[in-house]
């Protein structure tokens, strides 16, 4: 098992129980306690946990956020299914914006062979996927945020003010009835909020693990979205958080 995959599983375990002991983790994953301590130190560096004597506890709160490497390993099949549905909304001649996020990046992979569309993005992941393709690609400037692997902030927002977007595919961290869609980082959230405002049509792509969660910065209410695309893991109780104006499409 790779280190990133092991750390993701460790995080899932700590999220479920709130804490974990080094010795138990070492036995569970059949590695040394030193390896587990290095894993926990990396998770603490990312702000996800707090190390204590003999183990670690979860950092709870609305600022909690996985780094991009861990996000890319998580719920991959669901993200690919969501991307497949999202692509059906893109027609020849569309000018679209692909937001930062690993689910949106899966959509970018499906657009590599498309020719008659224009794509704008602030995501380095998306730009790397589309580099060398026939897609008409515009990369937004801004201040780079490594956790999002994207550019954002005042320079990005000023650049976007000159454009009107036909279709937006938005990536978020939380989807909740009262809080709408949200992210932990304020700078990221403000840029996403501006994207929604400048779009004629907006779709949020979010796997079911993000439902029922809310984070530090609210991007918009669910009623401001045209489509919310998720996977079949969304339960009946979670479907009720979609307003009439918002279509829930399960991948």
Give the pLDDT confidence score for residue 218 in this predicted structure: 94
Q: Taking residues 194-222, report their average pLDDT.
A: 92
Locus of tokens 């980082």:
185
Task: Report the distance separating Cα 176 and Cα 174, nearest Å.
Answer: 7
Give the pLDDT confidence score for residue 61 in this predicted structure: 58
Partnered with residue 248 across adjacent β-strands are 228
Residue pair 100/148 in contact (Cβ under 8 Å)? The answer is yes
Span 30-74, pLDDT tens digits: 888 888 888 888 877 776 777 877 888 776 655 555 555 555 556
Q: Taking residues 73-98, report their average pLDDT.
A: 90
Give the pLDDT confidence score for residue 204 in this predicted structure: 95
Does the pLDDT value for residue 142 go beyond 90?
A: yes
Give the pLDDT confidence score for residue 29 in this predicted structure: 83
246: confidence class by pLDDT, cuts 50, 70, 90: low
Does the pLDDT value for residue 116 go beyond 80?
A: yes
Rg (CA), the chain: 19
Q: Which two tokens stand for residue 46?
A: 């990312």
**Nearest CA to 209 among 61, 81, 74, 72?**
74
Q: In what order do the strands lie in the sheet with 55-58?
A: 19-21, 55-58, 49-52
**Nearest CA to 42 among 1, 68, 4, 75?**
4
Residue 193's SS3 state is helix
Percent of the chain with pLDDT over 90: 45
DSSP count for the chain of H helices, then E strands: 10, 15
Give the pLDDT confidence score for residue 241 in this predicted structure: 61
């Amino acid at each position: 098992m790779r280190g990133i995959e092991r750390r993701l599983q460790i995080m899932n375990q700590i999220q479920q129980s709130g804490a974990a002991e080094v010795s138990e983790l070492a036995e569970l994953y059949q590695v040394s306690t030193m390896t587990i301590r290095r894993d926990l130190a990396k998770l603490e560096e990312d702000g996800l946990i707090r190390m204590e004597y003999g183990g670690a506890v979860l950092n709870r709160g609305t600022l909690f956020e996985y780094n991009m490497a861990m996000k890319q390993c998580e719920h991959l099949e669901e993200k690919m299914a969501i991307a497949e549905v999202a692509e059906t909304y893109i027609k020849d001649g569309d000018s679209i914006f692909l937001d930062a996020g690993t689910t949106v990046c899966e959509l970018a992979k499906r657009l590599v062979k498309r020719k008659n569309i224009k794509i704008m993005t602030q995501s380095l992941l998306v730009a790397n996927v589309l580099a060398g393709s026939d897609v008409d690609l515009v990369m937004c400037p801004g201040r780079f945020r490594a956790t999002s692997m994207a550019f954002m902030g005042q320079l990005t927002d000023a650049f976007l003010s000159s454009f009107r977007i036909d279709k937006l595919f938005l990536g978020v961290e939380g989807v909740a009835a009262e809080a709408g869609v949200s992210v932990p980082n304020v700078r990221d959230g403000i840029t996403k909020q501006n994207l929604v405002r400048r779009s004629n049509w907006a779709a949020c792509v979010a796997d079911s693990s993000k439902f029922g969660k809310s984070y530090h910065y609210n991007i918009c209410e669910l009623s401001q979205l045209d489509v919310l695309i998720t996977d079949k893991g969304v339960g009946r109780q979670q479907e009720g958080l979609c307003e009439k104006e918002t279509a829930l499409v399960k991948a």
